[in-house]
Amino acid sequence: RKEVEQDPGPFNVPEGATVAFNCTYSNSASQSFFWYRQDCRKEPKLLMSVYSSGNEDGRFTAQLNRASQYISLLIRDSKLSDSATYLCVVQGDNTDKLIFGTGTRLQVFP
Amino acid sequence: DTEVTQTPKHLVMGMTNKKSLKCEQHMGHRAMYWYKQKAKKPPELMFVYSYEKLSINESVPSRFSPECPNSSLLNLHLHALQPEDSALYLCASSQLRGGGLAKNIQYFGAGTRLSVL
């Protein structure tokens, strides 16, 4: 089993749609969780950190369920500019190492 | 714009060449990282430096040799590479481990796209 698993997609959605990405992780000792966004041929960029209580940043909402070892990202009112690969990233306690999921490709069409 | 600067942006080298990739950050971060990324794959960790000391080597072949001259600079020396080493090489930095979520965030440079002929 991979340490961080994501549905690779692609998710093809129209502008204005709501789309949800899910991610599971295997190490119950993991402490830090992030969603990164990566555009084609560019570097990963932090989209948002994921807090236990859940957090929202504009159209983006992240949730963490520690009991189920599950992380989600919800994007509302999708824009063409949201088209990218979304990487679920997990960091264990007492380590500098980030574990990346394989990424979920999102394509928003007009 | 990223505050982690990588040079060169592109590099083409032969299998007998020696070259170096450079990374610089001025955010006062004390951890720096090298990743390798192949097309349509996530970044794979290669090395981690914490407080200028090598803390993680993910069993990377010796033809890749990292160096951390000071807290702002990270180099990756390349020698006798193979065509399968062609990839995007990403540098990242973070403030330090522990002390809250914000300090674990890694910031990536734009990468060096390497082609080995």
Q: What is the mean pLDDT of residues A61-82?
A: 96
Asked whether residue B99 carries a pLDDT value surpassing 60, the answer given is no
Chain B residues whose CB is inside 8 A of the A64 CB are none
Residue B109, chain A, CB below 8 Å: the answer is: yes
Which residues are bridge partners to A67 per DSSP?
none
Residue B2 has pLDDT above 90, yes or no: no
Is A98 within 8 Å of chain B by CB? yes
**pLDDT above 70 coverage of chain A, percent:** 98
pLDDT exceeds 80 at position B97:
no
Q: Is A96 on the interface with B (CB under 8 A)?
A: yes
For a pLDDT cut of 90, what percent of chain B falls above it?
79
Does the beta carbon of B38 lie under 8 angstroms from any beta carbon of chain A? no
Q: Cβ contact (<8 Å) for B101 and A97?
A: no
Q: What are the distances in angstroms from CA B79 to CA A38, A88, A101, B12, B21?
A: 29, 33, 30, 13, 11
Put the strands of the sheet holding A4-6 in their side by side order: A4-6, A19-25, A70-75, A60-65, A55-57
Average the pLDDT over A15-44 and give the result. Answer: 94
pLDDT score recorded for residue B49: 94
- Contact criterion met (CB below 8 Å) for B110 and B3: no
Measured between CB atoms, does A68 come within 8 Å of chain B? no
d(CA A94, CA A80): 39
**Mean pLDDT, all residues of chain A:** 93
Judged against a pLDDT cut of 90, whether residue B33 lies above it is answered with yes
Contact B43 A94 (CB under 8 A): no
Question: Is the pLDDT confidence value at B1 over 90?
Answer: no
Mutate to test the interface with B, among A43, A71, A102 (most CBs of B within 10 A): A43
The pLDDT assigned to A46 comes to: 95
Characterize the bridge pairing of strands B10-13 and B64-70.
unpaired
The pLDDT > 90 percentage for chain A reads 77
pLDDT of B21: 98
Residues 78-97 of B with CB under 8 A from A: 88, 90, 94, 97
A67/chain B closest Cα distance in angstroms = 19
Average pLDDT over residues B92-115: 81
Burial bucket for residue B17 (CB in 10 Å: 0-12, 13-18, 19+): middle
- Read off the pLDDT of residues B42-77 as tens digits, 9 standing for 90 and up: 999 999 999 999 999 999 999 999 999 999 999 999
Query: Is pLDDT at B103 greater than 70 in this prediction?
Result: no
> Which uninterrupted H or E stretch holds A45?
strand A44-49
Mean pLDDT of A16-40: 94
Q: Which of A95, A98, A103 sits opposite B106 (nearest CB)?
A: A98
Q: CB distance from A87 to chain B under 8 Å?
A: yes
Q: Does position B107 have pLDDT exceeding 90, yes or no?
A: yes
For the ranges A46-55, A58-67, A100-109, B5-14, the lowest mean pLDDT is seen at A46-55
Query: Which of 7-46 (A) contact B at CB < 8 A?
Result: 32, 34, 41-46
Give the pLDDT score at B102. 57
CA-derived radius of gyration, chain B: 14
- Both tokens of B8, joined, read 């060169």
Identify the pLDDT of residue B53. 94
pLDDT of residue B114: 97
For chains A and B, what is the number of CB pairs under 8 angstroms? 49
Structure confidence at residue B98 (pLDDT): 54
